[in-house]
Structure 1
């Protein structure tokens, strides 16, 4: 009887140890909703960008790059990094895209994306310093 109880105890402990990592892994599954640490009230991308066909994703990327470059420029020009300035509505980026790039071909849009990325990256250190000073980086 003691032997049966010992086996049962070992089996129970073993199963418990096996289940424990599985339960821990379940807690590590990231959620699809990520809330940023800085400026959590950011405007959403326009619907057309979120629903764009995969083959046209470069258009979405271009608008994102325009948005990022404009925001870095705004921060550096004003010396301010409040949330509304750092993450404004997408309107200006959309207008820039429509007026300057909407009729471009894929290759031209990729070149434009590269250009906006360079602009944003050049301004990033200065913008980062301004934003870090107010805790918005």
Structure 2
């Protein structure tokens, strides 16, 4: 009885193998970014995309600044238009340039932590506002 069950499971696994292989071939990774919500959001500045891997913490800091500023803006304005939630990167870039561009790595990592905390503090309220208009 047990042997029959094992043989049945083995036959089932073998019969599904071609289907898994086809499905795996259809999963083609892409660098194209597409979004269901606010698909026309501005791209990251080119200089951020060109940052060397060893200095990726700079890019992460700008991303963290951007996220915190935008979620806080949604909460402050009580609006979640795409332009509010995903504005141009200018303000985040300016904040980085004015306060962190010459900072040490550890200072940037600490600042990222602060901005992540700010974003997380605003996230629940921002999500409720954005959910109401279908932009989350």
TM-score by length of 1: 0.83
State the shift of 1:18 in Å. Answer: 5.9
CA distance in 2, matches of 1:29, 1:129: 34
State the shift of 1:23 in Å. Answer: 2.2
SS in 1 for 2:80: coil
Which residue in the other structure is 2:100 paired with? 101
State the shift of 1:133 in Å. Answer: 0.3
SS in 1 for 2:36: coil
May I ask how many residue pairs the two structures share in their alignment?
A: 122
Which residue in the other structure is 1:31 paired with? 30
CA distance in 2, matches of 1:122, 1:76: 10
Which residue in the other structure is 1:13 paired with? none
Which residue in the other structure is 2:119 paired with? 120
Structure 1: unaligned runs, 5 residues or longer: 1-15
Which residue in the other structure is 1:84 paired with? 83
Larger Rg: 1
State the shift of 1:128 in Å. Answer: 0.3
TM-score by length of 2: 0.84
Give runs of aligned pairs for residues 1-137 of structure 1, distance below 5 A: 19-137=18-136
State the shift of 1:17 in Å. Answer: 7.4
SS in 2 for 1:43: coil
CA RMSD in angstroms comes to: 1.5
CA distance in 1, matches of 2:127, 2:36: 15
CA distance in 1, matches of 2:19, 2:122: 48
CA distance in 2, matches of 1:17, 1:82: 46
Structure 2: unaligned runs, 5 residues or longer: 1-14
